[in-house]
Structure 1
Amino acid sequence: MDTRRFLIADSLSDGAAYDFTWSSLDTAPARFAHTHDYYELSLIERGAAWHWVNGETALLNEGALLFIRPDDRHWFRARRRTGCRIINVMFRTESADHLVERYRDDLAGRYFWTDSAMPEVHQLHGPRMERAINTALELQTARRSLARIENFLLAMMTRVVDYAVTGHAAMPPWLAMACQAAQRPEVFRRGAAGFVAAAGRGHEHVCRMAKRHLGISPSVYVNTIRMQYAAMALGSSDQSISSIAHDCGIENMSHFYKLFRAHYGVTPRAYRTVHARNPVQPTGGMSLARTQRQPR
């Protein structure tokens, strides 16, 4: 298949920092693939699409959010049975370079800046999907300024995508569904066995494909979700640590403490001490005493 290179100068008006489109994809196969001299963020807003990228084809379902790099060679077409509506935002490489330089600790090696052969894709659903659509649609009528696109990208990467299902564009649909299912307590409580059951494939095949597309084993993937759940409970409730561990599906407290420390660098008790403070109604007298005026 022939490849063409698209230039951002052909799409942006003078002074614009980005371009926004919200359109329905054709079901006909593409006549050529393309690369570009800009970055793209694409969201499957409705339906599903076939995405050919860097030699592989994957079915993208509603809620798929793609971080497409300039040299990714790709094309889309709508799935005939469902059709597809897609939101696409293109922006200059200078904007991406600025963001990753300024926020390197948070962004480097992720999103647009991976070394993987495939672009990164996140599967959104529920409130995260709604937030992504609303955040993207704000760009449609806004002045297409540098501040607006940078604010949008940071919001998508730090408020929408965090803790979403992550993988590569060629991830099999059944694996993406297993990742999505693993967010539910009734699945992650069962550990890797719950993930494999949700995938509906043999254990060895699931492990092999998880390693290929996620870079980690099902066990590590599920334990990450468990620890995120534990951290949220520690910071937002007075539930006992042993009860939280039980809710995560971990009966061995020594193992729970080991996993939590590996993820957050501190014990669950220390994490709660830092993150459960209430700055509006502090329970300790020391901080209050420091703010009181002394009589003159």
Structure 2
Amino acid sequence: MGNKLEFKDFVQNKRKYYIADLELLEDAGNIAHTHDFYEFYVVLKGQFKEYFNEEKLIVDKNTVHVIRPQDTHYLTSTNQYDRNIIRNIAIEKQYFEQCLNEVGIEDCESIFCCFKLDEIAYQNYQTKTNLLLQLNNTEQTNHFLFQNILHDIFICGLIQRRNEDERIPKWLQFAYNEFSKDAHYIDGLNKLIELSGKSQEHFTREFKKHYGITPSEHINNLRLQHAAILLKTSNEKIIDIVYECGFRNLSYFNRLFKEKYLISPREYRDLNKKCF
């Protein structure tokens, strides 16, 4: 079974989690281990081999893996990239299970697995874990962030399982993929329905069935993701970004942005300037 890592060896001051960005090398000398805590990581850069419960996995950018205390695993770089980095979080067992219960996660198999986050979920994960890395957060803020992170990962895992269990119609896959282009999602719902070639009622029903959200929610997610990238990488005025991404109301944009990223657009821009 290998070594057993103990949570008390990673944390100080009675903190309930440990978070760090780790760069792993091919010859890092990792050994198989279990824990007395839960652990999850997301690959930020590069590619890794993971030996997990006697299985061999290849995990690359955007992959998330939630690991239970009884699981045996270790990671090593495939040496295919110059840098190979994961953002790793170790969480006290009792606290992790408390958070799962508080956000109403019962189908735990949807979270204890290895899968890729879509780009929106990946951006959300980075933003929220960047906030966790700040040392001046209150305990209440960190608790809220953990709940949000676990909820996001659970939803992504659930959608992936549904997609594997239920084959998505080709016309819907086409509309979904084409609509990811900014020239389309900025145009809004009518463009999405046009790409599908179906009636609005039929399209809306099938979209919600297969993707777990409404078309309007998907449109807003894509627009918010685009806005977040512009806030991070450009010096455009926020009001110009709002209109460029397809929103027509600044107050509505601010409310949606804060619901998704937990901070205002201006705070998001300032935070990412500091982090990147």
- Structure 1 residues 59 and 47 mapped into 2: Cα distance closer, same or farther (>3 Å)? same
Aligned to 2:129: 136
Is the 8 Å Cα contact of residues 193 and 200 (structure 2) preserved in structure 1?
A: yes
Alignment partner, residue 73 of structure 1: 72
**Residue aligning to 1:219:** 168
Higher mean C-alpha displacement, 73-82 vs 137-146: 137-146
Q: Distance in 1 between matches of 2:68 and 2:13?
A: 23
Let me know the Cα RMSD of the aligned residues.
4.5
C-alpha distance in 1, partners of 2:117/2:211? Answer: 24
1:33 partner letter: A
1:121-160 equivalences in 2 (<5 Å): 121-125=115-119, 128-142=121-135, 146-158=139-151
Question: Does structure 2 conserve the Cα–Cα contact (< 8 Å) formed by 1:25 and 1:77?
Answer: yes
Please list, as runs of the form range in 1=range in 2, the aligned pairs for 1:171-250 lying within 5 A after superposition.
215-219=164-168, 223=172, 239-240=189-190, 244-247=192-195, 249-250=196-197
Change over 3 Å in CA distance of 1:73–1:18 after alignment to 2? same
Classify the secondary structure of the residue corresponding to 1:141.
Answer: coil
Question: Where do residues 39-54 of structure 1 align in structure 2 (5 Å cutoff)?
Answer: 39-54=38-53
Distance change (3 Å), C-alpha of 1:258 and 1:130: closer
Conserved in 1, the CA contact under 8 Å of 2:100 and 2:147?
no
Q: Secondary structure at the match of 1:76?
A: strand
Aligned to 2:102: 102
Shift of 1:78: 1.1
- How much has 1:223 moved relative to structure 2? 4.9
Deviating beyond 4 angstroms after TM superposition, the runs of 4 or more aligned structure 1 residues are 143-146, 158-167, 220-229, 236-240, 252-255, 260-265
Structure having the higher helix fraction is 2
Unaligned runs of 5+ in 2: 180-185, 216-248, 253-276
1:221/1:20 CA distance change after superposition, 3 Å: farther
| 1:8 CA displacement | 0.5
Query: Are the counterparts in 2 of residues 51 and 75 from structure 1 also a CA contact under 8 Å?
Result: yes
Structure 1 residues 257 and 238 mapped into 2: Cα distance closer, same or farther (>3 Å)?
Answer: closer
CA distance change for structure 1 residues 63 and 254 in 2, over 3 Å: closer, same or farther? Answer: closer
- One-letter amino acid of the structure 2 residue matched with residue 114 of structure 1: E
Structure 1 portions without partners, runs of 5+: 168-209, 230-235, 269-277, 282-296
2:113 matched residue in structure 1: 119
Q: 1:37, 1:225 → 2: CA distance?
A: 45
Following superposition, the deviation at residue 258 of structure 1 comes to 5.1
TM-score (structure 2 length as normaliser): 0.59
Residue of structure 2 in register with 1:32 after alignment: 31
User: What are the Cα deviations for residues 167-200 of structure 1, in whole angstroms up to 9, with x where unaligned?
Assistant: 5xxxxxxxxxxxxxxxxxxxxxxxxxxxxxxxxx
Q: Which amino acid aligns with 1:77?
A: T
Larger Rg: 1
What secondary structure sits across from 2:198 in the alignment? coil
